[in-house]
Structures are given as C-alpha cells and as structure tokens.
C-alpha cells in the first residue's frame, strides 16, 4: 500500500530551504555579561588617572610657589630686584601701548650701615621692615614697592606727573626721617634719600633705573650738606 504524501504548495519546499539558509547565515546576537576582571581594571585605570591629575596639579602649584619665592625678598615680603624689574618691564610695555604714564622712585636708606655696625643686623632688619611699612602706607594698591638690594628700594607709581612724582619722593623722605628706633637704650634714626625718573612712551627699564639711581645719589649729597 502506497504512503500518502502531504501536498505542498508549489515552491513551498524551496522557500523553507531559503528561510533556513537565511537563519544560518544571519549573525547571532549574543549578550555577554560584563567581566568582573575588566570592570576592576577599568576602575583601577580611572583611579590611576585621578592620582596622576592630582600629582600634576600639586607639582604645578609647587612650581608657582618656587617662581613666586624667586621674585620675592624673603625678609620683607616684597618683590626683590628680579621681581621688581619684571614688573617694571611689564608696566613700561603697558605705558607704551596705551599711552599711560608713571614714575620710578629709587630710595636709599641713609644710615643703615652704622646701625648694623653698632647694634647688629637684627636691628638693621627691624629698621628695614619699618621703612617698608611706611612706604606701603604711602602708595596705592596698584603701585609696586620692591627691594633692589641691601638698603635700596624702588617704587613704581602710576599716573603721576613729574611735579607729583617729586612731591611724592619728598613726602617719602619725610616719612622715613620721622621714624625713630630705640636699641640698647639709645634712640637712633635712619633717614632716606630719593631720586625720580619719569616713565613715558620712550622709557626703557634699564635707563629708568639708572636715571633714578643717579638722581638719588645727587639727593643724598644734598642731604649731607643740609645736615
């Protein structure tokens, strides 16, 4: 007896074969659970990057501290010669570009060496600190007071005419002259002589310092004759 075969639509077997072939050829989507080992490594890398960033920020901050200390007088906490000359060059560049004006005053303490010789350098340091306090009280926050070295100071003053600058130099001399110090029961004074250079569109830092320094020595000689 012959077996009955199920009737199929024309082409049905061929379509089934094509579907099966497409299923085999299509890429299978596989969802992988995250590996615990990979997650740990990723966290470690992020922590390492954070540590490196923190160390870099600390190193940059330290560099800025060292740079600032290289430009600052350690005793008086004002710019040293290097720091002041840097500010002077920047200021002159600004004056030239924007047609501003300013003045440079060089001030020298008159009798610091005798005080050091008689009472020691600690006494001389106290005199210098008191003089710097006076200078800072007599200038604006935009002005700059620096120590060129030893007992010589420089002041960078903005927007002053020559007349005003010379009047300011005279008032600084008077303020320092009024200071009195008592060491070992003796009252002593220091005094100061100041010279001025005007900063205009043709100013140069080295030239301005030399001019103010020469004017200061002329003034020092005048004060000796007046005494």
Give the Å distances, CA to CA, from 213 to 74, 155, 197, 220.
Answer: 24, 12, 9, 10
Q: Is-catalytic flag, 77?
A: no
Strands (E), the chain: 102-109, 144-149, 152-158, 181-183, 186-188, 192-199
Burial of 17 from C-beta contacts in 10 A (0-12 / 13-18 / 19+)? exposed
Which of 44, 151, 164, 213 is catalytic? The answer is: 151
Q: Indicate the DSSP class of residue 11.
A: T
Which residue numbers are catalytic?
Answer: 151
């Amino acid at each position: 007896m012959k077996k009955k075969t199920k009737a199929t639509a024309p082409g049905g077997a061929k379509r089934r074969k094509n579907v099966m072939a497409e299923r085999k050829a299509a890429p299978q989507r596989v969802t992988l659970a995250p590996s615990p080992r990979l997650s740990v490594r990723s966290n470690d890398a992020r922590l390492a990057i954070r540590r490196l960033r923190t160390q870099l920020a600390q190193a940059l901050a330290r560099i800025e501290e060292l740079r600032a200390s290289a430009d600052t007088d350690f005793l008086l906490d004002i710019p040293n010669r290097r720091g002041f000359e840097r500010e002077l060059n920047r200021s002159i560049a600004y004056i030239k570009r924007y047609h501003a004006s300013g003045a440079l005053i060089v001030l020298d303490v008159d009798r610091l060496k005798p005080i050091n010789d008689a009472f020691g350098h600690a006494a001389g340091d106290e005199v210098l600190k008191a003089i710097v306090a006076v200078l800072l009280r007599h200038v604006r926050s935009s002005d700059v007071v620096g120590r060129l070295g030893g007992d010589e100071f420089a002041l960078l003053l903005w927007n002053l005419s020559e007349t005003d600058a010379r009047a300011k130099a005279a008032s600084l001399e008077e303020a320092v002259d009024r200071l009195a110090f008592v060491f070992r029961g003796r009252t002593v004074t220091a005094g100061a002589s100041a010279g001025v250079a005007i900063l205009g569109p043709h100013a140069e830092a080295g030239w301005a310092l030399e001019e103010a320094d020469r004017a200061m020595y002329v003034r020092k000689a005048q004060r000796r004759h007046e005494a």
